[in-house]
Structure 1
């Protein structure tokens, strides 16, 4: 799936976070949106995923050469980010069952495979409110990466993770990033995005 943005801008009150972005995110490519903390990376990702409305400009999604109605886009998007909340009253089993009522499993995966990837076999019946912050981040990442979607957004993917978790994240991407997905990562840590094909600096659009 392609995302084409034209003259895109977003402001809060009178302050522009970014302006005049003309860019195309192309199918099967890996992108990193770069910039220091507070520069607007997350705001751009929220705008691209429909969580925020642009203050100016347009966003067009196209698949197989045809423009997709905006109300259909959410079927094709998965996202992991620190600001995405989990339902903490659910057990891990319950959360996976709930999530995959709305998204299809990525080809070759099922609930048992995902729990194995998480290395949480002993925690499958534990409520998420008892998970550590690092465990919750792994769950967010696996929900996004193991959903069968053409667009995958990862915002600050290794937040709350230790060195072992960072290695786990890279292994997860190697396992789940196939050639028919568009990956967009918001980050200021090179280890999270060094494998990407293209880089977009949010500071270029201030």
Structure 2
């Protein structure tokens, strides 16, 4: 997978959040999008994932020498962020069963539950999970879904040190040949990334 950004920009009202981004992202590499709070990191990631539209410029998605339209790119990616939702009324087992009915996974449901360390919570409703448990589940769904692109936004928010260690241990293992993009202002979240894209360097 290759994602090419050409003159990409986004503005709200009359203010440019970022502007003039020319960049190429490719499978087999990990990229960190950095910047302070409110700098536009999440906005850029949403544009990359097709959730939001740019105000200027364009994005070209290519896989196996074929161009993929923005309306189809969701088939090739998985995203975990503060704005991605879980089905609160489902139990953990129901959430995983539903997710695996839509996406091909690299682990079985039982293996995912074991990897999470949530064996005692498999029949517990998601709404009764702590914020840290919910975040860890979002990460697991992203990590173990087969996809060419892995997008992570503030991946360790609400995680304690033990689960930050879990994240840091698994991230290199699930990156493999994927195109990985991590939005963060925490160095430990993206320390394995190959390239750093500072959103603030594209402010005009």
Shorter-chain-normalised TM-score: which range?
over 0.9
Distance 1:82 1:168 in 2: 18
Distance 2:13 2:102 in 1: 35
Task: Indicate the RMSD between aligned Cα atoms, in angstroms.
Answer: 0.9
Aligned length: 203
1:110 to 101, 108, 111: 108
Matched residue of 1:101: which SS? Answer: helix
Deviating runs (4+, > 3 A) in structure 1?
none
Query: Shift in Å at residue 86 of structure 1?
Result: 1.0
TM-score (norm 2): 0.97
Gaps of 5+ in 2: none
**Structure 1 position 186 matched with structure 2 position 192:** no
TM-score (norm 1): 0.96
Distance 1:155 1:70 in 2: 20
1:144-195 per-residue CA deviation (whole Å, 9 max, x = no partner) reads 11100000000000000111110011122133222x2000000011100011
**Structure 1 position 201 matched with structure 2 position 198:** yes
2:145 to 144, 147, 171: 147
Maintained 8 Å contact 1:152/1:183: yes
Structure 2 counterpart of 1:17 = 17
User: 1:93-172 alignment to 2 at 5 Å?
Assistant: 93-106=93-106, 109-172=107-170
1:38-64 per-residue CA deviation (whole Å, 9 max, x = no partner) reads 111000001111111111110111011
